[in-house]
Amino acid sequence: MRQWTGFLTIYWRDMLRFFRFKTLLFSSLVQPALWLAFFGIAMSANFARLSSGMAPLPGIREVRYLTFMAAGVIALTTLFTSLFAGIVILFDKNWGLMREVMASPLPREHVIVGIGLSGMTKSFIQVSIITVFGILIGVEFFSGYTAVRILASLLGMFLFVGIFSLGFVFLSSAIAASLESPEGLQGIMTLLSLPLFFVSNALYPAAAFPPALNALSAANPLTHLINGVRYFTIGPDFQVIGVHYAVTVQDMVLSLGVLVAFAAAMFGIALWRFGKAVVT
């Protein structure tokens, strides 16, 4: 039985480290909420002023920009948390702990799965805090939903967040297994995170992008995560700053399929890199 549950040791160890480092825990939980509070409210006020002369589309629910952007903040937090999850591998390599793990009978795929699940759990914690905090400052999530629909929407949102998080934790782990310094990983992750974030619909409608950027946005896993979060928290049909959003169940199935395929591909790459990793 232990052979099949070895990943839980890696998972539990990483979660204990997360909760014991109080500064890291505090900053990772509070920073996204503050970003939503200050940047979100300021941007919402500016967009409200700029769009005050726009006539709303008849018969379609209008939401404030703060609500629209809150889904982007959830996705951004998940992206950053997942991308930097691989740094634990570099710390273990530098402290000699990874050598002990690699020398044990524990299959290497269990190491990857354990780190992936811990990164996913951290994302769930942060997303929960941002969602609650956002509602407290005026984000109109789950407006008009029944209790049953709220529960179903939360499950749907966490499904998208979890699969997306696993994909990028696996990617981060694959890169970390190939590097020797945390600084190198931070540089690569920063290089990846900004294009992924800005070539998505996190802060603004992607429909206004030039054709080339629109194609990149459609292939961006972050865009599909944001589509899922908005679908479950705001609804399938709404308008914001004069732009009409309409999403079907088929669109959500496609977005979920893209995230599942991405996570599976990243797991394969991480497993390949760990198979070639040499820890001295």
Render 25-87 in DSSP notation, one character per residue: HHHHHHHHHHHIIIIIHHHHHHHHHHTTTSPPPTTS-B--HHHHHHHHHHHHHHHHHHHGGGH
Give yes or no for a contact between 75 and 225, defined as CB atoms under 8 angstroms apart. Answer: yes
Distance, CA of 89 to CA of 93 (rounded, Å): 6
Render 104-129 in DSSP notation, one character per residue: SSS-HHHHHHHHHHHHHHHHHHHHHH
- φ/ψ of 55, rounded to 5, equals -80, 125
Closest listed residue to residue 168, CA positions, set 156, 183, 185, 145 = 185
- State the DSSP code for 243: E
- φ/ψ of 246, rounded to 5, equals -135, 120
Give yes or no for a contact between 58 and 84, defined as CB atoms under 8 angstroms apart. Answer: no
Distance, CA of 71 to CA of 127 (rounded, Å): 10
Predicted pLDDT at 12: 84
Predicted pLDDT at 36: 77
| Local structure of 250: helix, strand or coil | helix
Predicted pLDDT at 138: 86
Render 69-84 in DSSP notation, one character per residue: HHHHHHHHHHHHHHHG
Range of the domain at 214: 2-276
Give yes or no for a contact between 243 and 267, defined as CB atoms under 8 angstroms apart. Answer: no
The tokens for 183 are 């600084």
Number of structural domains found in the chain: 1
Distance, CA of 274 to CA of 12 (rounded, Å): 20
Q: What is the mean pLDDT of each run of 10 residues along the chain (280 residues)?
A: 64 81 70 74 69 67 86 89 80 65 68 88 90 89 94 96 95 83 76 87 81 89 95 91 86 96 95 71
The CA radius of gyration of the chain, in Å to the nearest whole number, is 20
Predicted pLDDT at 94: 66
Predicted pLDDT at 87: 77
